């Protein structure tokens, strides 16, 4: 039976293999040879991406949870416009947000910051008449703090009801110039989104939303 590659062995915790380049799975020693071959292929792809200076590909070769970290590692190798375009793509792909890491990503002093948004998104944000904007966040008690907000309370409520736990609606205000990004009409995104750092918004209220009753399916 093959011995698990040392780089993989370091990522086995509680019988789960969770490596930056491989899908997470229950670790089974019988398949160590398969895991090693998968890593070999990924490492070869990573080397090719580095040789060709294809930094976006290098980021996407990582599993989703590790892409923000990969973005930070290659940030200084990308042009400013490349960096901000990738910030948008990796952010919109992320499912779990590390607030400290993403605060560092959003605040990196790079030129061409406008490339984080499309022309239409810039226009839509500019058309909001108020300098101070009310924003909303659908969440649970464990996720009240965050960077992802909505301009529409209905959209925020929809997000809250999709989470495990008692749904909450957080209301806050932010100066328009403090908004890091506004994403609207992006593929595979049902709602618009504004990105606001914790230091920049002013909390107004946290409201408990009524629990929705589970719909009982009856046999025909």
CA 207 to each of CA 156, 157, 160, 165, 212: distance values in angstroms, whole numbers, following the listed order: 12, 11, 11, 14, 15
pLDDT at residue 216 is higher than 70: no
- C-beta contacts of 120-129 below 8 A and 24+ residues apart: 120/184, 120/185, 121/181, 121/182, 121/183, 121/184, 121/185, 124/182, 124/184, 125/176, 125/179, 125/182, 128/176
Domain boundaries, the chain: 6-110, 117-208
Mean residue pLDDT of the chain comes to: 93
pLDDT, tens digit, 9 for 90 and up, residues 44-101:
999 999 999 999 999 999 999 999 999 999 999 999 999 999 999 999 999 889 999 9
Please give the pLDDT value at position 160: 95
pLDDT, tens digit, 9 for 90 and up, residues 98-118:
999 999 999 999 999 999 999
pLDDT at residue 128 is higher than 70: yes
Share of the chain above pLDDT 90, in %: 89
Instruction: Name the 3-class secondary structure at 204.
Output: strand
pLDDT at residue 193 is higher than 90: yes
Q: How far apart are CA 177 and CA 200, in angstroms?
A: 10
CATH placement of domain 117-208: 3.20.170
pLDDT at residue 10 is higher than 90: yes
pTM score, whole prediction? 0.90
Q: How far apart are CA 123 and CA 151, in angstroms?
A: 15
pLDDT, tens digit, 9 for 90 and up, residues 160-190:
999 999 999 999 999 999 999 999 988 878 8
């Amino acid at each position: 039976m093959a011995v698990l590659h040392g780089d993989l062995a370091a990522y086995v915790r509680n019988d789960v293999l969770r490596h930056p380049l491989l899908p997470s799975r229950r670790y089974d020693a019988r398949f160590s040879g398969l895991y090693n071959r998968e890593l070999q292929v990924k490492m070869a792809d990573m080397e090719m991406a580095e040789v060709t200076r294809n930094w976006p590909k290098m980021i996407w070769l990582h599993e989703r949870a590790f892409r923000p970290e990969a973005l930070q590692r290659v940030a200084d190798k990308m042009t400013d416009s490349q960096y901000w375009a990738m910030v948008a793509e990796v952010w919109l792909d992320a499912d779990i947000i590390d607030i400290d890491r993403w605060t560092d990503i959003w605040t990196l002093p790079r030129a061409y910051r406008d490339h984080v948004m499309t022309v239409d998104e810039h226009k839509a944000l500019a058309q909001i008449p108020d300098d101070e904007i009310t924003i909303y966040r659908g969440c649970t008690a464990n996720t009240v703090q965050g960077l992802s907000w909505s301009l529409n309370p209905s959209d925020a409520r929809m997000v809250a009801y999709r989470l495990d736990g008692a749904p909450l609606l957080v209301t806050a205000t932010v100066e328009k110039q403090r908004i890091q990004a506004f994403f609207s009409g992006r593929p595979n995104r049902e709602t618009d989104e504004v990105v606001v750092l914790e230091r920049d918004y002013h909390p107004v209220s946290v409201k408990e939303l009524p629990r929705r009753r589970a719909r009982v399916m009856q046999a025909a």
